[in-house]
Amino acid sequence: MPELPDVTVYIEALERHVGGRVLNEIRLFSPFLLRTVEPPIDAVKGRTVTDLRRIGKRIAIGFDGGEWLVLHLMIAGRLRWREPDAKPPGKIGLAAFDFDHGTLLLTEAGSKRRASLHVVAHEAGLAALDPGGLEPLEIDATAFTEKLRAGNHTLKRALTDPKAFSGIGNAYSDEILHRARLSPIAMTGKLTDDEIETLFEAVQSTLKDWVQILRDDVGQGFPEKVTAFRDEMAVHGKFGKPCPVCATPVQRIRYASNETNYCPKCQTEGRILADRSLSRLLKKDWPRSIDEL
């Protein structure tokens, strides 16, 4: 799922491509995409794009009439910039937003239709879609500490809770925790002041670094290779591969359709964390340490 760095670069590209431009037409190709009826989607036709914002992991496109198109790409949704009146790419095409100089296509790979489009009016409409998490690159260490200590959760859950911090998901939380050398299952209520300071610095540096990496990759173009798995990542999506710091094989905890990746030497003092599926299957044979692994 595109997270804060990816969505930030999407918005910067949209500012270059459609900022100040008139939206001529909207073509919807999926009955599941549009989740609102009021205001009607036709309300933004013929309107000029005046603002672009990130709302958590959502992309908000504002128009001069006060209405907003709010896109949530979910896991497999992606945006493409193509020539005017471009046709959608087969079954994965969900919508096309036509401007005089080009077409913004919304696609979604796979058979599940999770991406969504909302049409809302004014700031109140945007606020209703905002989970309310703090912007991690706009807060100081004090605000970060207060939010982190407001409950007692695992670090993985705390960082990815949209009501706590805005825009951090599965991929970048793995990278943040690896940079901070903290376990994904460490409890927020037991962190020392030094550990929280280290975590705050890791959040700031990881997100800033990745925004810059993605900016450099896109240049003045449009993001075409948005993915949660990148070669430059330290642990996310790197199960079984060597940690770039200590060369220990990266491990994982799998749950539902997600997994948490971590380095046992750098983050868990050599302990292998229990995997819900494999550890139950292997029971006593499940390795508890790097040596047993």
Domain chopping of the chain, boundaries:
4-129, 141-285
Instruction: Give the model's pLDDT for residue 292.
Output: 45
Nearest residue to 108 (alpha-carbon basis) of 2, 18, 15:
2
**pLDDT of residue 281 exceeding 80:** no
Nearest 5°: phi and psi at 289?
-145, 170
Which is higher by pLDDT, 258 or 167? 167
141-285 is classed CATH 1.10.3720.10: no
Instruction: Give the model's pLDDT for residue 282.
Output: 35
**pLDDT of residue 155 exceeding 80:** yes
How large is the average pLDDT for residues 16-20?
98
Residues whose CB is less than 8 angstroms from the CB of residue 22 and which lie 6 or more positions away in sequence, other chains included = 46, 47, 48, 49, 99, 100
Can you point out the beta strands (E) in the chain?
25-28, 49-55, 58-63, 67-72, 77-82, 93-99, 102-108, 116-121, 251-255, 258-262
Instruction: Give the model's pLDDT for residue 288.
Output: 53
Q: Write down the architecture of domain 4-129 according to CATH.
A: Alpha-Beta Barrel (3.20)
Identical fold at 4-129 and 141-285? Answer: no
